[in-house]
Structure 1
Amino acid sequence: MTKADIVGEIAKSTGIEKVQVQQVVESFMENIKETMMAGNNVYLRGFGSFIIKRRAQKVARNISKNTTITIPAHNIPAFKPSKTFAGEVKAKSIEKK
């Protein structure tokens, strides 16, 4: 499902115009991005959490040049679904098999 599909589904179920729904979805995603870039996590109760994970410094190999490089410590964004959300997805996938 793409962002356009999500906008279409929300517009169909709420009766709000697609242009307005798209503005809300874009604003929602921009808010999450800005909050995480500021170093904060976003918690959506019953859905999940957008969290910042810290990756430690590590040594890697460039096999084509046969050299060793150091990858510095850095942060990455991650999504952790809530227990109820993960349980519902798991239950649906079991039903389909």
Structure 2
Amino acid sequence: MAAPAISITYELHPPPGTSAPQNCTSTKDHEFIVQSLGAAEDTLKNYYEGLRQAIAQAKGTLGEELTAWRDAVGSGEQSKEVKVKKGEDEEELDEDEE
């Protein structure tokens, strides 16, 4: 029987012109093995401890990779956000609510 594992796959579609971060690709597969820790008499407890550790490892690894991609995309995405200026009517409504 194969060891239990957490499998995660992602495929990113960064904006055109975005340079890939160092040691990163836009498509990635990960597998985090759930290690059973300790003695056999505490099997369920050990399984969940191993599962917790595998989840923490997955969270850390993906967090680092996706943060690198977020930083690579950087301010290019911020320039796409449209800031809507409030009209006079909206400003009056805001004042009335206070």
Q: What's the TM-score once normalised by structure 2's chain length? A: 0.30
Q: What's the TM-score once normalised by structure 1's chain length? A: 0.30
